[in-house]
Structure 1
Amino acid sequence: MREVLVIGGNRYFGKRLIARLLAAGDRVTVLNRGSAPPPPGALQLIADRDDEASLAAALGGRTFDVVVDQVCYTPRQAAIARRVFTGRTARYVMTSTVEVYEYEDSAGLVGEDVLDPATVIVTPQLPWQEPEFVAGHYGEGKRQAEAVFAAGPDFPYVAVRVAHVLGGADDFTGRLAHYADRIRSGEPVAVPATNHPATYIDVEEIAEFLFWVTRQDFTGPVNAASHGPLTTEDIVAAVAGALGADHRAVRYQPVEVGAVSPFSFARSYGMDTARAESLGFTFSHTESWLPRAVAETMGVN
């Protein structure tokens, strides 16, 4: 029986990951602040992961075969985790994001090698303890968190760079509802003047991929995305289809400066998944799950 610790991530694809770990016979411990109980069958530790003394005290003398960190957003959090978990785990899996590529613009799909976390400059003096700052620097926070784990001496980490996730009736983001509202009201959809496609992944597939990663021995960054990048128009068409509406009637309003709709991007966010596939994981194609994922999120049978 493996000992697996999951930090945060007690909802959305995190709970799906935990269900897979438990079904495989792993003993799963969930560490959070106590605001939500773990799924049935999992143990719980309560601690503030931002407080190093609290985290170390909660762990006591426990060690783990694998740690899956679902809520590491800053270099400060990564530094605390690295100090506390060095010598406590054989494998540390951090859930990262496609948005770490925010400075590596490319018309094609980017591979992991275009962003070596060991070359990223870490700026711990920035106000990473302020939630508004962290929210406004999401991609940069993840970049720097990866950099902390990648710095010597060797730490057995994996950074799973996750594409935009779709699907699930428990999707709490409200992003698809934005499009449903526009379709129902006839309001235009605001998009960048040049709107780029992006890579996506189904909520069940990312849970399956993370589960698979916990059973491998490779380290370093790895991209996770379904094949088939999607445009804003693809998302709108799927939402319209779920509503029984005509997506061809939707109007798009290009915006030079200002807020745009979710899933519309002024730069490319496409990821190449050759590394994961060479290691043995086969991703699906978005066309195989997009209509179903959109319908279930919107509560349409």
Structure 2
Amino acid sequence: MVMEKAREILVIGGSRYFGKRLVTRLLAAGDRVTVLNRGSSAPPPGATHLVADRDDETSLVAALGSRTFDVVVDQVCYTPRQAEIARRVFTGRTGRYVMTSTVEVYEYEDSLTPVREDAVDPLTVPVDLELPWDDPEFLDAHYGEGKRQAEAVFAADPDFPYVAVRVAHVLGGDDDFTGRLEHYASRIRAREPIAVPFSNQPATYIHVEEIADFLVWAVGEDFTGPVNAASHGPLTTVDLCEAIVARIPEGKVVLQLVEVGEVSPFSFFRSYGMDNSRATRLGYTFRAAPAWLTAAVAETLGKDGD
């Protein structure tokens, strides 16, 4: 019997939420996993830890030394500058480069039907490295644009085998650091208004465990280019509120409809639905979002909504 050689996998970031689940799964599969971050947290036992600032090319090259990898999974590439550094450093060092992207790349695609990957072709996205990408406020306000341009940098080199996993809105887990579900829970408990658009649109979601599973699957495949990762079936703000109030029976859902201005997270003036048929054709089987929503709310808020 011929034993398969363990894969060499580098995960950039991977210290929280679905990134740490990815690392744990890869280790359990027998892969040799290296985690690179700025040293803020250690990886799970069994992983090699490299400390470097991925924005500093000299630091990154020094930390990597002569290492090469079968696959790199980049969990924290937010700007075209970061992508430019990564492409230079990892050209010739990896067989594939899997970047975690986002549904937010479709922020200008207001479609009533779920959007496919070709709605945003990275080869047509202009790249501007001179924008103030180092300014946290600018980056936060241009999250989708930063991811679009990062994808474009990787796509511009036909010899660089990259994948851009466009991740739907992620729910679930007791370590959800975003506080978005708690935003709803706190208002439902207090019976306070929840601001939503007058014409509130649905969106696609994915469970935290499913996106970790999807990334593990993507690591083992050989396709390239953008791919949407979303559970089947969109969810609305009302769906989320109903699942939350079921855990907080003393609470009440009070929706405040607004035409302009700030609204609650997971409520949208435009549709954020992604078509997941490319991944399905490639062989991945997604779950249905309504099937895991109740469990996701229980995980994040606690079984009694606390």
TM-score (norm 2): 0.96
User: How big is each residue's C-alpha offset from its partner over 1:49-95, in whole Å with a ceiling of 9 and x where there is no partner?
Assistant: 00011101110110000000000000000000000000000000000
Q: 2:300 aligns with which of 291, 297, 301?
A: 297
**Residue aligned with 2:182, SS:** helix
In 1, distance between residues paired with 2:15 and 2:53?
A: 15
Matched, 1:63 2:68: yes
The equivalent residue for 1:235 is 240
Q: 1:82 aligns with which of 87, 90, 109?
A: 87
**Cα shift at 1:161:** 0.2
**Cα shift at 1:245:** 4.5
Matched, 1:272 2:275: yes
In 2, distance between residues paired with 1:145 and 1:242?
A: 40
**Cα shift at 1:130:** 1.2
Note the 1:68-217 alignment, pairs <5 A: 68-217=73-222
**Cα shift at 1:168:** 0.2
Q: Is the 8 A contact 2:14 2:23 kept in 1?
A: no
CA RMSD of aligned residues (A): 1.0
In 2, distance between residues paired with 1:122 and 1:109?
A: 26
The equivalent residue for 1:257 is 260
List structure 1 runs of 4+ shifted beyond 4 angstroms. Answer: none
In 1, distance between residues paired with 2:254 and 2:182?
A: 17
In 2, distance between residues paired with 1:116 and 1:73?
A: 17
In 1, distance between residues paired with 2:117 and 2:250?
A: 39
Structure 1: unaligned runs, 5 residues or longer: none
In 2, distance between residues paired with 1:163 and 1:83?
A: 28
In 1, distance between residues paired with 2:83 and 2:145?
A: 13
User: How big is each residue's C-alpha offset from its partner over 1:175-212, in whole Å with a ceiling of 9 and x where there is no partner?
Assistant: 11111111111111101122100000000000000000
Q: Is the 8 A contact 1:97 1:162 kept in 2?
A: yes
In 1, distance between residues paired with 2:250 and 2:22?
A: 34
Matched, 1:283 2:296: no
Letter in 2 for 1:148: V
User: How big is each residue's C-alpha offset from its partner over 1:90-140, in whole Å with a ceiling of 9 and x where there is no partner?
Assistant: 000000000000111101100101111000011111001111111111000
In 2, distance between residues paired with 1:99 and 1:261?
A: 16
In 2, distance between residues paired with 1:11 and 1:154?
A: 31
In 1, distance between residues paired with 2:104 and 2:171?
A: 16
Count of aligned positions:
299
Q: Is the 8 A contact 2:204 2:274 kept in 1?
A: yes
In 2, distance between residues paired with 1:35 and 1:186?
A: 38
In 2, distance between residues paired with 1:14 and 1:149?
A: 21
**Cα shift at 1:300:** 1.3
Percent of residue pairs identical? 73
User: How big is each residue's C-alpha offset from its partner over 1:11-40, in whole Å with a ceiling of 9 and x where there is no partner?
Assistant: 110111111100110000000000111111
Q: Is the 8 A contact 1:242 1:291 kept in 2?
A: no
Structure 2: unaligned runs, 5 residues or longer: 1-5
TM-score (norm 1): 0.97
Letter in 2 for 1:267: R
**Residue aligned with 2:50, SS:** strand
**Residue aligned with 1:93, SS:** strand
In 1, distance between residues paired with 2:289 and 2:248?
A: 19
Q: 1:17 aligns with which of 22, 29, 35?
A: 22
**Cα shift at 1:270:** 0.2
Letter in 2 for 1:135: D
In 1, distance between residues paired with 2:98 and 2:247?
A: 35
In 1, distance between residues paired with 2:119 and 2:176?
A: 31
